[in-house]
A = this chain, B = another copy of it.
Amino acid sequence: MEAHAAVLDVLKAELQRERDLPLPWYDVLLHLSEAPGHRLRMQQLAARLVITQGGITRLVDRMQAAGLVQRASCESDGRGAYAVLAAEGQAVLRDAAPVHLRGVEEHFLAHLTPQEVEMLRVAMGRVRQANSGRAAMEGVRG
């Protein structure tokens, strides 16, 4: 827990200082850029960032106001909405990615052996899988 918090604080401060970009914004841009059509449903995005529905609405609000993403309605489901990567968002991501990737390398990966990295990848994937979506199920036990 402490390692996670410490690394994140460093990466967050670095991205903020060198590119004036909050880490959650980077995360949104990255996920959108990897998605087909550079777009994701609000729910999908919320799940990937592990935040709530209300949270993703407000986050996308701010990024839309800054011109980094746009909203688009969903043809197949009138209730749904897409968050779409804007051109400006793509540019910002391209600009920030090297900084962040170097940060991850320098402040995290550099302290681990390749074996540790691989084990971490596999083990954490297992943990993530087992716990995804569990917080939502209030009274459920098991």
Contacts and interface: CB of A to CB of B under 8 A. Distances in A.
A111 B135 contact: no
A131 B7 contact: yes
Q: How many copies does the complex hold?
A: 2
Nearest to A138: B17
Contacts of A139: 17
A128 B48 contact: no
B10 A135 contact: yes
Contacts of A50: 2, 5-6, 9
Interface string A100-125: 00000001100110001001100111
Contact of A6 (B12, B108, B123, B128): B128
Nearest to A115: B119
